Structure 1
């Protein structure tokens, strides 16, 4: 029987804190001991990068050298070989081979063990791709899987490679396997999600989960990989979220302007609310939105009514979320962000959604403004308030609107979001759907079960148990966290729920099936391979296509092409126009973006040719405007083109290379349409988040 999870978490917190007080090797060994892994099999390869790597190279039978650039070796402050974990440390089996052969060389192919390594890196901000690069390069030289613990600033990251025996040659194993990273664990104050993941990796937890001890190394390794499964993480999150969703649609009441039956109207509104909040939570991880807006302790001081205690009240949705969505994220910073006028009767700011409302719900209105003032203008369309005035033309085309519109003053208003101080026009979303939730709920009809009772947690309680990352996972490298692809998965899995007639088949009827990442990657590769083969003229097409596959592969490095072919490929990318005619929530367009960014990194590491190609395109557009006969129109368009060129130069001068690659690929190369407007909004948001990942937060 495993010890309670609470005790495991406490032990892990103590072990993590030790990294702030002890040398790297001592603290790392203590952490793995806390997880239940220890061994006397160790070796001293030195604690500097050159000494460590040099010793491994000399001991390797093939004498191959590490690629220092892939290891970022110049950024290593120290390193340590911790220990080798073999079958005899799992159950009692025959003594397995050690790390070395009789000649004191590394065994050429001994996958049936782990080696644990620790590396201290310079600086705190490291990407998942950098950790994957270091881990993959180290695993090229070690005959068994190397598990790597990184210390960077006050953070830790753990990288695990899923190496498998080569099916064609059992003496070799597959190095280009997926690498999974538990990233940015804070030593002094770890996130609950990180503690949960590490807790599940403890040997005692693995025994409890499997109801038996792992029998051998492979059994233990598979158990690790299962714990770190992103699919498992996503499924667990979605299960909790679906319970919340089906319970919440019965708790809320959105204005009749949303149309349809009450249940259907509320379902659509809750999906929209959920999409907005998931996006907000992602950008909160980039520290663009203050955490106090979601913290019950801080909110108790900010609002007159404690939202965590007053479950039936709706002050949190009105005062915090509506003001955040419509009057903050949808409004430029500065003087435009202000309170609506006070007093009674019809206001001059009626249906002006850029002003803050519900001032009387706050303890300190200025403190609220100060919090909102920290948040940048990040609108991608999702935060447009949908409340609007009904015109005569609207009624001519859609006379049914009169039945669902509100009479306000002398006009009709279609209330959908309910961003209003008029009680009859507001949406009612009780606080309990965000905090605390409910116990013993009957969701059997919704979830297709019988005689079950469900515990439903508040939405922010669910979010708090998971780590979110703004960087989308890739086919061969993943972070154990919820990534922006989740927006698409949540939307497309909940899509069927608001078809009142045929809920069970609505998903099939709409064509909303989420495409797995591996399938998307294959589709992207084949499409780009065909395009490049046609766009760039070469003599040997067979050899060219083989080199293109190498260029497109996530596992290959460098540029296989001569300078003239490289220039032709960059020009082809600039000229590329790719359209997804049923884009859904953006799986294929996102796959294209990620692939093209990777290709441009290889072809043009300094971004010089990509910059030149795009500037030439803008300059050609500018000169073409000189032929416009209308002088006023010509001057107007040329002034706009000059501003666009100036903005282009500022962007390339002040932003990271990947940001400029993504920005111009999104603006010029990638297009998508869909019948579902909210799907298009989600696709836009995923691209928006992709830009945020590569942007320096100012």
Structure 2
């Protein structure tokens, strides 16, 4: 289909009321080949559980894609319009029911209501999500019972814009020549494409708005960073206010006629008003937006007959309160002149769309007031996007400096659920301590230098009001059961009344949850949670959703259930707190909570004012607070609490201002006093002061959750704040560490006893040196509940980070089994995290001197065996050093041509010029010297004096062309011409093992003569070098290295000294060494000759011999010994000619490679040994 024709078809379908014949035409063009049917179902043909919602439906056909996957095509008429908006779970359940009946996996469904004759309808893609579980034998199976479905929908019809649907469905319509695959159809319903495009346009609007604000008189008195900061905040807030109103107009709350009901307002109010303003030749911002923001929405009109009516616009506008529309400047006196073209114009963007103004861009998108759920997505701009917009507003430099990254919704969802599960498990169930030692290594958590300790794997023994597995069912799946259990309850009542004999429909919510519904609801209502680095509010909003969802799942079993709106209002008031250093983040976080309330406000007779969140979501420095020994005036705190409660609900502008001033004065009196009597400076916030009611009632938070910033502490070197951190966070502070480590200690202090902390942070603390204090802190002060290591899988799309999730409680318990999982190879951003964890079974968390590891259970015994057999390399008689750091390689590293030139000018220069290897020149067992040389103007060592450059005038002349760079470099010696001091310089003249720091696999080689390396490489000198070389290059230690090192992206590892020296090497054995060392001699010679088959075979033989050194009993038992069958292996001394060496190597290869030789047979079947097989599978790259 041609583009113009396709666009017309989409417009005809999606911008009009639902018409079944037009819809069928659209499907024929979208899918090309469909098997048409027209089966009509109504009355008794509709399943009883859905009769209240579904009046009739049609199965209009099916589609089979090129891969043979089938899809049903349905049209469903709903009884009322409210079912279209609010019965989302029911609609998914109906879709699943029909898909199972018709034996299909997915379906395209048009949902409409007969109440408005299809004026607004949904075009949905529904796909069954097969949930896996583990049986008693540990095998993963698929649940047949109560399978959920994911639904992605376009909200379309007379009141909607078809822009998004056109953008995403157009490519499929244009493609007449090929039927679309299921994956392509599913991709057309991707919300990520929509949001990514919207974010880019939003950012462009922000930059354009900022330019217009640059010259405004309001900001002229400011300069530098303050000027930029105020403009940025104003621009962000203005766009946030307009976006908020787009969600508001979606509910029909703006521009309501004087005598009409709330909800009847124009869905294009903002655009309609622009037309009126333009016709009157007025300014949209000055003459409309300012009055809308700071008068109509911000001021109560109590004294009017209709408080909602706003005379200036001759329509009803709701009074919102809350502070979002509280002016930050004197808007009636100050002038901000923003041209109308900033809001609407006729310019074309790069994609050919007309209009680049704020209203133009926003009008092109569908806005949905429904918050995203894991199984329910609307292909539109939803409230959740505001958080992502905020993170996108940070440019690359700002994001790095603030360490702020937007947490994917699936991870927020999982962490919030896990926190609630652990919280409920504690408050509902009385735990009885029961220690059951499961192996002697568990007694010592840290182990010692030779052996690793292990977290205790303890049996749980507790008296349960509600078993933990039932709590998990409520939190994870309770919302799926609401409609089903409502029908089950109704059937039970009818049975009790004798109206029917029995019922086959039974409750899905566990019996213990139903029996204790009142208690569970009470505990959920009482939770107190805080995000100390709230950012855009993802975690508080996530907790709000999970708490309300769980309480709604209990509603059918409560005497007095509440509405979603009432539950949200209560949760925001009683449960949620947050802090952030960035005021714009606070603005967005508050906005998101207000939006969450508006979403579920259904009382159109009286729209309730938004709460004031000034003392719930607070701007401040979480890490700098009052010292522990400071006296706290409890009585004064209680008086502030009373004022805050009054302020929270206050709607009168004057009273609100007065209360804020009184509260602020009292708070700052305490802050000023604390600074006078402590060594800390710049204290602008303290948790126990600002949130004193939490400590007053329960001594701390039940849950601390979040994604604290990732910023290196050394960036604050020399600043007073670093000294304050060092004093306040002695248990976790390290100068080479990261701020998130301090947040762990702060989070711990914020918890009440047995409270739960859930953070997603960098995973560097697990193995890095700076994380040692943090690891000890966790072990000595907390009970770790769960650790998820994402390895180098990228959780945050906007930056390269290496992350982990950690949950712990503020307690020391002996009856908790740690759930640990390694998702380094299994993370997918779109998949539910709990399902990924199930598919990649939980392993075990193990501590060793070098760090904290997540290890699959099958690897644990092998790791322990390697540690038992080996001795740490740091305890061998060897020395490990890094290569030379020149500070400016372009000057000091030269090629052979330049070397010859300098020597030709003065033969004395030969004294300074020595061979050097770069990292890329080093391979496994061999090196390629590529004629590179270093001008070694050393700074003296042992008895040698520093090089005097004046003795080498030609070299000095050469270096002078880089004089400015040499002067500016930090790494220099007594003069700019000298290299930095290096005490171990003579080591480079010895026989040594060399290797590159960054490598995807072991690449260790032997360097025999004088050879230098750069600082991205290392050298090892000492005894038994060939023996050590073979073991370092082996699969055994390659496998082990993964547990003690840190990966960087792309499966690259860092072979730095601190990791390599922690490798356990099997002790030198003379009998075995004579074979291994001879084979090591063969390999570099064969590499030079290019004999790949022989090289590969002998390298495999060395690897097999190392396996035999570490697992001798296992290999002997399997009959796969190699050393025993070797015979006499001929050496190749340096005195031999190349021909003689080749002859010997060839003869040994022919002998051992013979198909009948036991060495070759055992080598090829070595993976029949379980330990070998497991290691090889783990190393598959």
Once the two structures are TM-superposed, the CA of residue 694 in structure 1 deviates from its matched residue by 1.6
Partner Cα distance (2:424, 2:170) in 1: 48
Q: 1:479 to 1:13 in 2, by over 3 A?
A: same
After TM superposition, the score normalised by the length of structure 1 is 0.66
1:191 equivalent in structure 2: 160
Query: What does 1:374-413 align with in structure 2 at a 5 Å threshold?
Result: 374-387=316-329
* Residue from 123, 133, 143 that aligns with 2:80: 123
Once the two structures are TM-superposed, the CA of residue 13 in structure 1 deviates from its matched residue by 4.2
Quick check: which has more Rg, 1 or 2? 2
Query: What does 1:563-574 align with in structure 2 at a 5 Å threshold?
Result: 563-574=514-525
1:428 aligns with 2:388: no
Range moving further from structure 2, 26-35 or 562-571: 26-35
1:561 aligns with 2:503: no
1:601 aligns with 2:596: no
* Residue from 219, 223, 230 that aligns with 1:256: 219
Q: SS state of the match for residue 124, structure 2? A: strand
Once the two structures are TM-superposed, the CA of residue 243 in structure 1 deviates from its matched residue by 1.9
Stretches of structure 2 that go unaligned for 5 or more consecutive residues are: 133-139, 256-265, 431-461, 482-507, 606-1181
1:10 aligns with 2:4: no
Once the two structures are TM-superposed, the CA of residue 113 in structure 1 deviates from its matched residue by 0.7
Once the two structures are TM-superposed, the CA of residue 433 in structure 1 deviates from its matched residue by 1.2
1:478 equivalent in structure 2: 377
CA shift digits 1:249-275 (9 cap, x unpaired) = 222334127834355443332112111
Partner Cα distance (2:14, 2:121) in 1: 9
Stretches of structure 1 that go unaligned for 5 or more consecutive residues are: 54-67, 97-111, 308-314, 338-366, 388-417, 442-451, 497-503, 611-651
1:320 aligns with 2:281: no
- CA RMSD for the aligned pairs? 3.6
1:694 aligns with 2:600: yes
Once the two structures are TM-superposed, the CA of residue 29 in structure 1 deviates from its matched residue by 2.3
CA shift digits 1:179-232 (9 cap, x unpaired) = 21223x22xx3522x354156335744639xxx835xxxx62111221211111
Q: 1:508 to 1:541 in 2, by over 3 A?
A: farther
2:359 equivalent in structure 1: 460
1:332 aligns with 2:300: yes
1:675 aligns with 2:581: yes
Once the two structures are TM-superposed, the CA of residue 16 in structure 1 deviates from its matched residue by 6.0
Range moving further from structure 2, 117-126 or 562-571: 562-571
Query: What does 1:634-673 align with in structure 2 at a 5 Å threshold?
Result: 657-673=563-579
Query: What does 1:473-552 align with in structure 2 at a 5 Å threshold?
Result: 473-496=372-395, 504-537=396-429, 539=462, 544-552=467-475
1:246 equivalent in structure 2: 207
Once the two structures are TM-superposed, the CA of residue 289 in structure 1 deviates from its matched residue by 1.5
1:182 equivalent in structure 2: 154
Once the two structures are TM-superposed, the CA of residue 82 in structure 1 deviates from its matched residue by 0.7
2:252 equivalent in structure 1: 287
Partner Cα distance (2:373, 2:403) in 1: 25
Q: Given that residues 85 and 114 in structure 1 are in contact (C-alpha distance below 8 angstroms), is that contact kept between their aligned partners in structure 2?
A: yes
Higher relative contact order (CA 8 A, sep 6+): 1
1:135 aligns with 2:82: no
Q: Given that residues 302 and 368 in structure 1 are in contact (C-alpha distance below 8 angstroms), is that contact kept between their aligned partners in structure 2?
A: no
After TM superposition, the score normalised by the length of structure 2 is 0.40
1:83 equivalent in structure 2: 61
Partner Cα distance (1:686, 1:306) in 2: 35
Once the two structures are TM-superposed, the CA of residue 561 in structure 1 deviates from its matched residue by 3.4
1:42 aligns with 2:37: yes
Partner Cα distance (1:482, 1:440) in 2: 20
Partner Cα distance (1:529, 1:561) in 2: 17
Partner Cα distance (1:258, 1:600) in 2: 52
Q: Given that residues 36 and 203 in structure 1 are in contact (C-alpha distance below 8 angstroms), is that contact kept between their aligned partners in structure 2?
A: no
1:200 aligns with 2:168: yes
Larger fraction in strand: 2
Partner Cα distance (1:80, 1:661) in 2: 38
Q: SS state of the match for residue 608, structure 1? A: coil
Query: What does 1:198-277 align with in structure 2 at a 5 Å threshold?
Result: 200-201=168-169, 204-205=172-173, 207=175, 213-214=178-179, 220-252=181-213, 253-254=215-216, 255-256=218-219, 259-261=222-224, 262-277=227-242
Q: SS state of the match for residue 41, structure 2? A: coil
Q: Given that residues 533 and 579 in structure 2 are in contact (C-alpha distance below 8 angstroms), is that contact kept between their aligned partners in structure 1?
A: yes
Q: 1:520 to 1:297 in 2, by over 3 A?
A: closer
Q: 1:493 to 1:549 in 2, by over 3 A?
A: same
1:620 equivalent in structure 2: none
Q: SS state of the match for residue 582, structure 1? A: coil
Q: 1:317 to 1:116 in 2, by over 3 A?
A: same
CA shift digits 1:25-53 (9 cap, x unpaired) = x4542342353455235373x42053154
Partner Cα distance (2:173, 2:321) in 1: 44
Q: SS state of the match for residue 419, structure 2? A: helix
Partner Cα distance (1:530, 1:43) in 2: 51
Once the two structures are TM-superposed, the CA of residue 585 in structure 1 deviates from its matched residue by 1.8
Partner Cα distance (2:565, 2:464) in 1: 33
2:453 equivalent in structure 1: none
2:331 equivalent in structure 1: 419
Q: Given that residues 159 and 182 in structure 1 are in contact (C-alpha distance below 8 angstroms), is that contact kept between their aligned partners in structure 2?
A: yes
Range moving further from structure 2, 327-336 or 477-486: 327-336
2:1071 equivalent in structure 1: none
Q: Given that residues 570 and 609 in structure 1 are in contact (C-alpha distance below 8 angstroms), is that contact kept between their aligned partners in structure 2?
A: no
